[in-house]
């Protein structure tokens, strides 16, 4: 849920940008088209997050579970998000039919350049947000008394 909220902010900003830069009527691209593009981008982000990001995040959390540094956790999630930001468009390009693979690969490389920093920022922000909530819960819970030694 946090990831969906984090992704909603750039989508809302993009929607505001589209609304502010509505082209003239002769261009035949209006606010409705901008809304549909933002909605499609948001749906793709959410689908990729749940299909690829969730399992990769779980694996990353497992790999860094013994590190006590919150910064190390956030950086590990940022690296994971950046890697998925590069791999996801390339995986999608691999699903395209062979006749248009060159075009799909070119588009995938452009998308990888865009999604690499987006994936890193979203994954790091989600981990930082989750870490803050975890620390708050830990402070609010009563301490566990030690067991008496025999």
Whether the predicted pLDDT of 1 surpasses 60: no
pTM of the model: 0.62
Mean pLDDT on 20-29: 59
pLDDT in tens, 46-91: 777 788 888 998 999 899 988 888 889 899 999 999 998 888 777 7
8 Å CB contact between 127 and 73: yes
129 vs 149: CA distance, rounded Å: 38
Orientation of helix 101-140 relative to helix 2-20, angle to 10°: 120
> Exposed, middle or buried by CB within 10 Å (0-12, 13-18, 19+), for 7?
buried
Q: When comparing pLDDT for 133 and 78, which is higher?
A: 78
What is the token pair recorded at 14?
């993009």
The whole-number pLDDT of residue 100 equals 66
19 vs 39: CA distance, rounded Å: 14
The whole-number pLDDT of residue 85 equals 83
131 vs 70: CA distance, rounded Å: 7
17 vs 6: CA distance, rounded Å: 18
Mean pLDDT on 19-44: 66
Mean of pLDDT over the chain: 75
The whole-number pLDDT of residue 77 equals 93
Whether the predicted pLDDT of 6 surpasses 90: no
Residue carrying structure tokens 């996801």: 88
Whether the predicted pLDDT of 109 surpasses 90: no
């Amino acid at each position: 849920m946090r990831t969906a909220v984090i992704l909603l902010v750039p989508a809302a900003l993009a929607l505001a940008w589209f609304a502010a830069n509505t082209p003239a009527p002769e261009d035949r691209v209006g606010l409705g088209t901008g809304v549909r593009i933002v909605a499609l981008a948001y749906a793709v982000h959410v689908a990729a997050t749940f299909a690829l990001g969730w399992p990769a995040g779980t694996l990353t959390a497992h790999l860094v579970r013994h590190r006590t540094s919150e910064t190390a956790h956030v950086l590990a999630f940022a690296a994971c998000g950046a890697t998925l930001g590069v791999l996801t468009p390339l995986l999608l390009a691999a699903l395209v039919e062979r006749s248009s693979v060159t075009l799909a690969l070119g588009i995938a490389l452009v998308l990888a350049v865009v999604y690499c920093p987006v994936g890193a920022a979203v994954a790091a922000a989600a981990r930082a947000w989750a870490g803050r909530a975890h620390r708050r819960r830990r402070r609010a819970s009563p301490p566990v008394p030690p067991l008496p030694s025999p």
